């Protein structure tokens, strides 16, 4: 079988991570043959580090000069719709980073294009590829622990994400950027559709870290209710400074389980007399989910032949709906039904106008 040619769109933090995974783990099955980023310096640097020969300033330029089997989209959320639709209409398979898009209209555009083209569209919810999370989902499906009653999920990120990701106008904020993963996990584990979300937020560190966007928050607590009656609480803190922390506790009708830990194990010590306790922590999401990110690329390449993805447009759209309803909840200080943001007339008024094109 010929090696799949992948165009990496975006040379930032995640573009580098996925390029490295493909370079180090896909062997002769796949190769990043081009990097696309309008930031030429960043693109050149990434290309040089991994011996990628082609560098382009835009996807259009890449499609004009290069030839690919698939693209990996790792750009800011407000660019996802246009890039995904362009790649899909060029007949390419797509791995699209979460959040799928800025709003439901954009998700629908991407889903419709993918259905028309019959390509594989995989969403970047890496927890779906993580051994512990997958084992937990299998335990639930086995019925041994019964039905989920309460899910408590938290994600705390170490440092501030890039500026575009802190502003609800350009990204839908931390609920989208950090806690999309918890929203997807809660829906996945309950196996049920969300009905309502209520989110409250705080801002502890924004002023000190220069995060000045209107409505910036670094702390959130969300309660999601599901059709099954299950309740989920989702906590988010970013920047947390102490490391990357992703943990879930699920109480079921016949038992409970926990997924995740603050660190990879190793030395845990309490030094007598000093009241000090040290424990290994994951410094970043790159460390906590290292194996899942590799598996994500392995399965994306396989999906180019099978057409089967583990997580796709339906799950991506559901998480975006929760993010939108959650943001309304923050701004209007009330619980919000998911049906409100599914209404075609719903307008996410806080988003910068350029992001609402097509809405």
Ligand X SMILES: NC(=O)c1ccc[n+]([C@@H]2O[C@H](COP(=O)([O-])OP(=O)(O)OC[C@H]3O[C@@H](n4cnc5c(N)ncnc54)[C@H](O)[C@@H]3O)[C@@H](O)[C@H]2O)c1
- Give the span between the Cα atoms of 130 and 169, in whole angstroms: 31
Beta bridge partners of 341: none
Site membership for ligand X, residue 40 (CB under 6 A) = no
Q: Binding to ligand X (CB under 6 A): which residues in 182-221?
A: none
| 8-state DSSP, 29 | T
User: Which of the stretches 4-12, 101-109, 261-269, 335-343 binds ligand X when contact is defined by CB under 6 A?
Assistant: 4-12
User: Could you say whether residue 148 binds ligand X (CB under 6 A)?
Assistant: no
Is the backbone of residue 91 left (phi > 0), alpha (psi -120 to 50) or beta? left
Q: In angstroms, rounded to a whole number, what is the distance separating the alpha carbons of residues 228 and 43?
A: 47
Which helix (DSSP H) or strand (DSSP E) does residue 4 occupy?
strand 4-9
Asked if 173 is part of the footprint of ligand X (rule: CB under 6 A), the reply reads: no
* Mask for 270-299, x = binds ligand X (CB under 6 A): ---------------x--------------
Of 77-85, 144-152, 323-331, 336-344, the segment contacting ligand X by CB under 6 A is 77-85
Stretch that binds ligand X, among 11-19, 131-139, 187-195, 349-357 (CB under 6 A): 11-19
Closest CA to 295 of 1, 92, 22: 22
Q: How far is CA 36 from CA 10, 32, 145, 164, 214, in A?
A: 6, 11, 46, 19, 31
Cβ proximity to ligand X, 126 vs 324, nearer residue? 126
Residue 75 touches ligand X, criterion: CB under 6 A: yes
Q: Is 248 exposed, middle or buried (0-12, 13-18, 19+ CB in 10 A)?
A: buried
Q: What x-and-dash track marks residues 312-351 binding ligand X by CB under 6 A?
A: ----------------------------------------
Question: Which residue ranges make up the site for ligand X (CB under 6 A)?
Answer: 9-15, 36-39, 42, 59, 74-77, 79, 83, 97-98, 124, 126, 161-162, 177, 285
């Amino acid at each position: 079988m010929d090696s799949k040619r992948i165009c990496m769109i975006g040379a930032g933090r995640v573009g580098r991570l996925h390029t490295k995974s493909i370079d180090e783990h896909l062997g002769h099955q796949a190769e990043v043959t081009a990097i696309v980023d309008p930031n030429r310096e960043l693109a050149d640097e990434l290309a040089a580090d991994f011996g990628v020969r082609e560098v382009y300033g835009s996807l259009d330029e890449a499609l004009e000069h290069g030839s690919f089997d698939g693209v990996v989209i790792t750009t800011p959320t407000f660019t996802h719709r246009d890039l995904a639709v362009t790649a899909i209409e060029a007949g390419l398979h797509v791995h699209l980073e979460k959040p799928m898009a800025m709003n439901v209209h954009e998700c629908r555009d991407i889903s419709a294009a993918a259905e028309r083209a019959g390509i594989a569209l995989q969403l970047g919810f890496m927890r779906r590829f993580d051994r512990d999370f997958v084992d937990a989902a299998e335990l639930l499906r086995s019925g041994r622990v019964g039905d989920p009653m309460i899910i408590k999920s938290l994600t705390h990120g170490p440092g501030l994400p890039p500026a575009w990701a802190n502003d609800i106008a350009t990204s839908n904020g931390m609920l989208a950027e950090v806690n999309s993963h918890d929203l997807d996990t809660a829906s996945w584990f309950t196996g049920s559709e969300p009905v309502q979300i209520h989110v409250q937020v705080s801002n502890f560190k924004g002023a000190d870290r220069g995060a000045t966007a209107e409505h910036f928050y670094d702390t959130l607590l969300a309660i999601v209710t599901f059709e099954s009656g299950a309740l989920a609480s989702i906590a988010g803190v970013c920047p947390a400074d102490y490391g990357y922390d992703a943990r879930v506790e699920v109480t079921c009708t016949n038992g409970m389980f926990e997924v995740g830990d603050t660190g990879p194990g190793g030395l845990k010590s309490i030094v007598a007399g000093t009241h000090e306790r040290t424990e290994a922590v994951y410094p970043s999401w790159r460390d906590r989910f290292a194996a899942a990110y590799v598996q994500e690329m392995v399965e994306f390449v396989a999906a180019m032949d099978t057409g089967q993805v583990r997580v796709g447009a339906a799950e991506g759209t559901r998480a975006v709906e929760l993010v939108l309803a959650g943001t309304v909840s923050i701004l209007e200080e009330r619980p919000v039904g998911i049906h409100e943001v599914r209404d075609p007339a719903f307008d996410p008024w806080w988003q910068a106008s350029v992001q609402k094109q097509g809405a």
